[in-house]
Amino acid sequence: MNKVLLQVEDLRTYFFTRKGVVKAVDGISFYVREGETFGIAGESGCGKTVTGLSILRLLPEPGGQIVGGNIILDGTNLMELDKKEMRKYRGRMISMILQDPMTSLNPVYTIGDQIAESVRLRHDLPDNMVEPEVISALRLLNIPSPETILQQYPFQLSGGMRQRVVGAIAMSCRPRLLIADEPTTALDATIQAQYLALFKDVQKKTNVAIIFITHDFGVIADMCHRVAVMYAGKIVETATTKAIFNEPKHPYTSALINSVPRLERKDTRLYSIKGQPPSLVNLPAGCRFAPRCPVAKTVCREQEPPEVDIGDGHSVSCWRVR
Amino acid sequence: MADILLEGRELKKYYPVNRGILQRTVGWVRAVDGISFTIERGKTMSLVGESGAGKTTTAKAILLLERLTSGTILFEGKELSHFSSSQLKTEYRPRLGSVQQNPWSSMNPRMKVRDIVAEPLVVNTKQKKAQIRSRVAELLEEVGLNPDQVENYPHEFSGGQRQRIAVARALALNPSLVVLDEPVSALDVSIRAQIMNLLKDLQQQHNLSYLVIAHNLATVRYMSHSVAIMYLGQIVEYGEAEALFKRPLHPYTKALISASVLTLPEDGDQETKQIILSGEMPSPMNPPPGCRFHTRCPEASAACSQEVPPLRKVGAGHYVACNRV
């Protein structure tokens, strides 16, 4: 087993708005090992992106604030670092890929300039050393003819190629942890398959740990070793990918998996979860999923369920699992 | 004999590419390049393909939002070109409804739900206000919304509820065909199932035909009776949904299916036998000669770069355009 690279303990990230306190992430704990891909799955508004941003301490200010918890990366608690020290970690140790490659690249700079920017910021390299670094970053992401691409602008590239460039920027300083936030949602099916295969390849070459944030269970099944399922700011279940699909314990997890149509079979009717996720300003008492849960009991509506470890790294927060 | 509601024959839509001060036409983008299909009454046909394949252009042509370069559309056996423009307005267009992908941009944020759903009725019929009111309430109820919310604005609803409003609007005139352009792809996973089930129920109740445009094959399999797989403006495989998913023949269909099948990680081994295509879809301005897919096809032979494969029948209602099949 590889050693644990990142340990998140009881992380709480709140947004202080005029309408009230939005508890976007409300006490979550997980760890990621070196060379492992850890998935965070959930619907929009469940707090998965905020989790990623919290690890980088890049929350929108004012408003967003980490109000509690620890983020320990390779023995250092990121919560104890000041702003200047934190900057050294971003890019060098942790980097992030965002969903939309159209908006994460600057349209008026060439690809070469944009990768060089991150290479320069982090390595203090002499000028003649920058270009080889940039080219090796492009090579790592399997970008054909990197010397030509260097001179091009984002609009000259296709969506898939742009997302590879974003990946090259993220990997240019050989980080140990990569946070990928829905990196394939904007891509077409066959291009998505290419990109995911590429990620596995990059991970094999660099042993980078990846946190894969997605709502797509197909991507989870394909990419992740372990998964955490989030609902309304909490992790409801953590397990290996296989266990999540084969023996989901939390009613939300199984409902979510059953509501996705499968290509391998003909469904006559899809299972659908009634209602919508709760407002994060005004959370229900007890289990947050209780109002939509088909098997909720009285206790579910009164008390929050504790996280129970059922063995093999499988933990569930549900009153029905003891 | 199948009851055919709408038929497209050899539909083509080319867009001119203009360059220079004189805006001379230097080329054509062949968005849709000779496709034929039929939509049966009460059934769903899906157009599947990646962005730029020509799916939305086809749907727009059917909705009369784009003028075709050539080709014929037959509605209930009558050619649309024989309709006068007033006939199109009164006898064709009201029989069609449409639901767009993004429920955040398909509605005027300043209009109340009542007015959004009532608009097709106001424009196309001479119904009295009271009649329209009761029809709007009936429609909202039908799509699972509370009719008391008619005075609300779109921003007061969630994505799933907005998509229900869009469906109610599409059904206002009792259409025969509803064009659904990526109806669930902007929605959350748990909401998608609700909307797909709703669409299926409505189809049965009203004997509606659907033309679904989608890129997610699992969604397509769940919704459709027949499927057309498009690549670079052409149909590469077309047929009854079950036959096509059970026995895909075109290498592009196989790759798409392979990309969408949920493969569980096996013990200790995450490697799967996925088909991963190399490269990207070429530009529709300058499509490759021969089979348009040969540049990315894992099974291509030398002949594929020269011979254009015709769409051939390979089984009951199953057609493939591939030289190797």
- pLDDT value, residue B122: 94
| Residue of A158, A245, A267 lying closest to B222 (CB–CB) | A267
pLDDT band at A71 (very low <50, low <70, confident <90, very high): very high
Is residue A221 within 8 Å of B264, Cβ to Cβ?
Answer: yes
ipTM: 0.79
Assign 3-class secondary structure to A4-25: EEEEEEEEEEEEEECCEEEEEE
pLDDT of residue A271 exceeding 90, the answer is no
Distance set, CA A100 to CA A104, A153, A163, A188 (Å): 6, 16, 8, 13
Q: Residue B315: helix, strand or coil by DSSP?
A: strand
Candidates A320, A275, A271; CA nearest to A295 is: A320
Q: Which residues of B touch A277 (CB under 8 A)?
A: 190
B174: left (phi over 0), alpha (psi -120 to 50) or beta: left
- pLDDT value, residue A69: 95
The per-residue DSSP string of B10-73 comes to EEEEEEEEEETTTTEEEEEEEEEEEEEEEEETT-EEEEE--TTSSHHHHHHHHTTSS--SEEEE
pLDDT band at B12 (very low <50, low <70, confident <90, very high): very high
- pLDDT value, residue B50: 87
pLDDT band at B99 (very low <50, low <70, confident <90, very high): very high
Contact B274 A193 (CB under 8 A): yes
* Structural tokens at position B149: 């919310």
- B169-196 average pLDDT score: 92
Calpha distance A111→A121 (Å, rounded): 16
Q: Which residues of B touch A260 (CB under 8 A)?
A: 189, 192-193, 218, 262
Q: At what angle do helices B113-124 and B129-142 cross, to 10 degrees?
A: 120
- pLDDT value, residue B51: 84
- pLDDT value, residue B282: 87
Lowest mean pLDDT among A151-155, A316-320, B268-272: B268-272
Contact A218 B262 (CB under 8 A): yes
Write out the E strands in chain A.
4-17, 20-33, 37-41, 64-73, 76-77, 94-97, 177-181, 209-214, 226-231, 234-240, 308-309, 315-316
Candidates A226, A97, A267; CA nearest to B192 is: A267
Contacts with B, A 38-57, CB within 8 Å: 43-44
Calpha distance A249→A237 (Å, rounded): 8
**Chain CA centroid to CA B172, Å:** 20
Mean pLDDT of chain A: 90
pLDDT of residue B270 exceeding 60, the answer is no
CB-based contact, B260 to chain A, within 8 Å: yes
* Structural tokens at position B232: 């670079």
Calpha distance A272→A252 (Å, rounded): 11
Candidates A210, A195, A202; CA nearest to A33 is: A210
What are the sequence ranges of the domains in chain B? 4-247
Strand A177-181 and strand A209-214: the pairing is parallel
* Structural tokens at position B293: 């897919």
Exposed (0-12), middle (13-18) or buried (19+): which is A193, by Cβ within 10 Å? Answer: buried
Looking at the domain that runs over B4-247, which CATH code has it been given?
Answer: 3.40.50.300
pLDDT band at B267 (very low <50, low <70, confident <90, very high): very low
Mean pLDDT of chain B: 90
Paired with A213 in beta bridges are: A40, A181
- pLDDT value, residue B268: 43
> Order of strands, edge to edge, in the sheet holding A64-73?
A20-33, A4-17, A64-73, A76-77
Residues in chain A: 322
Q: What is the pTM of this model?
A: 0.86
Calpha distance B53→A97 (Å, rounded): 27
Lowest mean pLDDT among A96-105, A258-267, B120-129, B153-162: A258-267
- B150-160 average pLDDT score: 91
- pLDDT value, residue B230: 95
Distance set, CA A66 to CA A12, A15, A27, A39 (Å): 6, 9, 11, 21
B86: left (phi over 0), alpha (psi -120 to 50) or beta: alpha
pLDDT of residue B234 exceeding 80, the answer is yes
Q: Is the previous residue joined to A62 through a cis bond, with omega within 30 degrees of 0? A: yes
CB-based contact, A222 to chain B, within 8 Å: yes
Q: Residues B234, B239, B245, B250: is their CA dihedral positive or negative?
A: negative
Chain A: give the shortest CA distance to residue B197, in Å: 7
Exposed (0-12), middle (13-18) or buried (19+): which is A110, by Cβ within 10 Å? Answer: middle
- pLDDT value, residue A18: 87
- pLDDT value, residue B266: 59
Which residues, 6 or more positions from B262, have their beta carbon under 8 angstroms from its beta carbon? A217, A218, A221, A260, A262, A263, A264, B218
The CA-to-CA distance between both ends of chain A, in Å, stands at 28
Q: Which residues of B touch A245 (CB under 8 A)?
A: 264
Work out the percent of chain B whose per-residue pLDDT is above 70: 97
Lowest mean pLDDT among A264-268, B59-63, B147-151, B301-305: A264-268
Contact B188 A192 (CB under 8 A): no
Q: Where are the alpha helices (DSSP H) in B97-172?
A: 113-124, 129-142, 159-171
Calpha distance A309→B99 (Å, rounded): 45
Is residue A44 within 8 Å of B188, Cβ to Cβ?
Answer: yes
Distance set, CA B180 to CA A259, B156, B199, B208, B323 (Å): 20, 23, 10, 12, 32
- pLDDT value, residue A223: 92
Interface probe with B: pick from A37, A272, A289, most Cβ of B within 10 Å: A272
Chain B: give the shortest CA distance to residue A304, in Å: 22
- pLDDT value, residue B269: 45
**Helix (H) or strand (E) run with residue A280 in it:** none
Calpha distance A199→A184 (Å, rounded): 11
Rg of the Cα atoms in chain B: 21
B59: left (phi over 0), alpha (psi -120 to 50) or beta: alpha
| Residue of B193, B245, B264 lying closest to A245 (CB–CB) | B264
Chain A: give the shortest CA distance to residue B155, in Å: 15
Q: What are phi and psi of B178, to 5 degrees?
A: -120, 130
**Chain CA centroid to CA B135, Å:** 27
| Residue of B221, B275, B278 lying closest to A263 (CB–CB) | B221
Q: At what angle do helices B251-260 and A189-206 cross, to 10 degrees?
A: 60
pLDDT band at A38 (very low <50, low <70, confident <90, very high): very high
**Helix (H) or strand (E) run with residue A155 in it:** none
Candidates A206, A210, A207; CA nearest to A196 is: A210
Chain B: give the shortest CA distance to residue A43, in Å: 6
Distance set, CA B2 to CA B39, B78, B84, B119 (Å): 10, 16, 28, 34
Lowest mean pLDDT among A184-193, A218-227, B166-175, B287-296: A184-193
